[in-house]
Every structure is written in C-alpha cells, then in structure tokens.
Amino acid sequence: MSDGLVTNVSLILGMAGAHPAQGVVRLAGLAGLVGGAFSMAAGEYVSMRAQRELLERELALERHEIRHRPEGERRELVHIYEARGLAPDLARKLADAMMSDPEKALETHAREELGIDPGSLGRPFQAATSSFVTFAVGALVPLVPWLFTGGEAATVASVSAGGASALVIGFALSFFTDRPRVWSAIRQLAIAVLAAAVTWSIGHAIGAGAA
C-alpha cells in the first residue's frame, strides 16, 4: 500500500506540475495504478514461485538422501542434536526415532538442516493477489480527486489525501516494528512528500519550458 501511495502521488503530482488538462492527469494516474499493480503482482509471483521451486528442489534432494543414504542422514541428525547440547546417547535415540518414519525424517531434516517448514513454502498466487490489491488501494488514494475535479482543487485534495494516508500507514507500521508511532508516521509522510516534491518540481519545470 505504501508503494502504491508513494508511486502514484509522485506520478500524479509530477503530471499536475506541468498543468495539463484534467484528463491527462487522470489517465496518468490510472495507468500508474494499473501498471504498478500488475508489476507488483507479477514480481511477487515470480519471486515467490522461484523461491518455492528452489525449496521444493532442496526437499527432493533431502528425500532422495533419506531413501538412499539413511545412515548418513541419521548421523547428520545426531551431530545436529549434539551441537545443541544433547548427550550423545540421547541424541542417537532421538535421531533413531525421527528416522523411523520417512515423512517425519524429511520434516525433521528440513527444519533442522535446511531451516524450512515443508508445509509452509509460500503461496505465489495468494501473494501476487495481495500485492495487486494493496498497491491498487494505495495508488487510488491520490487519484480519487482527479476523478471528480481538476486543477488546483484536485492537486490540493490529492496532496491532502496522500499526506493523511502516509501518516496512517506509518502509524500502522509502528505496531509491527515497535517503533515510536509519531516517528514512524512522520517518517512515512516525509518519504511521500520528498518523492512528490521532486516529481512536481520536474513536471513544473518541463511544463513551463514547453510552454
């Protein structure tokens, strides 16, 4: 959502700075929303899909080793448990218990050796959908005023909506990062303001030069 907000408020204000017709700004904002949302979704899908395929390959290799080299895999578990402080006898007993069931052995090696959970390899389509929706929501905020009006009124409304949304996003992020809420909100606002100011200045300079 933060990406969508910063991207589209920058794009919209950059276009508005050149003082084009209302329809031009609206079209740019819609293009930024749709193009950015699809780009985020595609990137998230490809990234998570590649990660999932890599982890599936690692699990397949581990499954092959458990099937064809069970003793070597058992020794690996013993060494892992001993490194964690278990007594040698207890480490061997625990390794024997885990290796008694191939699926349990695979899960144990995945967690202990590879550091992954075989049941949670990620959901590429779900992640892509989530990225698409949240980016689109963020990108829609500064665009809404341009759907109903134009000129200075739309610019002021777009800045106000974008600034308020940036504060809300920063405030919400503080609950996850455990950072001071006011600081988090102001930081998010500063990022949005900086990006928008730069693109508006560029659009204004180019628009004035073209005129």
Per-residue pLDDT at 43? 94
Per-residue pLDDT at 55? 86
> Cβ-count burial of 166 within 10 angstroms (0-12 exposed, 13-18 middle, 19+ buried)?
buried
Q: Give the length of the chain.
A: 211
> Cβ-count burial of 120 within 10 angstroms (0-12 exposed, 13-18 middle, 19+ buried)?
exposed
Instruction: Tell me the C-alpha distance between 74 and 105, whole Å.
Output: 9
Return all residues near 124 (Cβ < 8 A) that are at least 6 apart: 44, 45, 48, 49, 52
Q: How many CA atoms lie within 13 A of 84 on its CB side?
A: 12
Q: What is the DSSP string of the chain?
A: -HHHHHHHHHHHHHHHTT---HHHHHHHHHHHHHHHHHHHHHHHHHHHHHHHHHHHHHHHHHHHHHHH-HHHHHHHHHHHHHHTT--HHHHHHHHHHHHTSHHHHHHHHIIIII---TT----HHHHHHHHHHHHHHHHHHHHHHHHH--HHHHHHHHHHHHHHHHHHHHHHHHHHH---HHHHHHHHHHHHHHHHHHHHHHHHHHHHHH-
Per-residue pLDDT at 8? 93
Per-residue pLDDT at 167? 94
This prediction has a pTM of 0.78
Instruction: Tell me the C-alpha distance between 30 and 12, whole Å.
Output: 9
Which residues of the chain, if any, have pLDDT below 70? 208-211
